[in-house]
A = this chain, B = another copy of it.
Amino acid sequence: MKTWGKMGVALCCVCLLSAFSGDKGQKDEEEKEAANHSYNPKFMQEAIRIAVENVKNGTGGPFGAVVVKDGKVIASSGNTVTPDNDPTAHAEVNAIRKACKALGSFQLTGCEVYTSCEPCPMCLGAIYWARPERVYYACTKEDAADGGFDDSFIYKEIALKEAERSIPFLNQREEGAGEEFRLWKEKEDKVEY
């Protein structure tokens, strides 16, 4: 009886501990879930602040972006196209690159992107490849067009037939084209993305 009694007490302790840690774990998860699913104006204000500062400091175009995970900023950036001589260095692309580096992953699972302006097609594509949970933006692509940026124009070009685009896209299928996909499908140890 004594042994059973001791075992019972021990068992109760284990149960209580797991219940508590279960509660805590669940609470943590719920908090993360809440942080991940609720818009927080302070992150948007930060994205706008970066955009404004970028213009004031002459360090690039008028755009800023922030990547948030579990209610915390994990990366942020302004646009650095001109100082970096990199036409792909938009705020969202920069912030996504930095966030992925911080996470050691090519995916932004469980993350949110806050950006001062509606993403251009390049940034939209980058977002789809990075796969965050959602995107919040302040200004629209019409605001960007009014500010002198091509975003709306590129959106219109995408919808056009290749021959009608201002930059021609020409299909030239050489012998051997497609071999890379055949090898890719066969490859057993490939890292998919």
A residues contacting B by CB (< 8 A) are 39, 41, 44-45, 48, 51-52, 54-56, 58, 61-64, 81-82, 84-88, 90, 93, 96-97, 100-101, 103-108, 116, 118-140, 143-144, 146-148, 150, 153-155, 157-159, 167-174, 176-181, 183-185, 187, 189-193
Interface centre among A119, A173, A193 (most CB of B within 10 A): A193
Interface centre among A45, A103, A122 (most CB of B within 10 A): A122
Contact A62 B184 (CB under 8 A): yes
Tell me how far the C-beta of A43 lies from the nearest C-beta in chain B, rounded to whole angstroms. Answer: 10
A88 partner, pick from B103, B129, B153, beta carbons under 8 A: B129
Question: Once bound together, how far apart are the Cα atoms of A77 and B96, in whole Å?
Answer: 21
Question: Once bound together, how far apart are the Cα atoms of A104 and B128, in whole Å?
Answer: 30
A184 partner, pick from B61, B108, B150, B155, beta carbons under 8 A: B61
Contact B124 A158 (CB under 8 A): yes
Tell me how far the C-beta of A56 lies from the nearest C-beta in chain B, rounded to whole angstroms. Answer: 7
Contact B52 A180 (CB under 8 A): yes
Contact B167 A127 (CB under 8 A): yes
Contact A158 B157 (CB under 8 A): no
Question: Once bound together, how far apart are the Cα atoms of A108 and B122, in whole Å?
Answer: 16
Q: A86-B100, A118-B169, A159-B159 are in contact. List 7 more A-B contacts (CB 8 A).
A: A39-B172, A55-B183, A81-B106, A85-B103, A120-B129, A121-B122, A135-B168
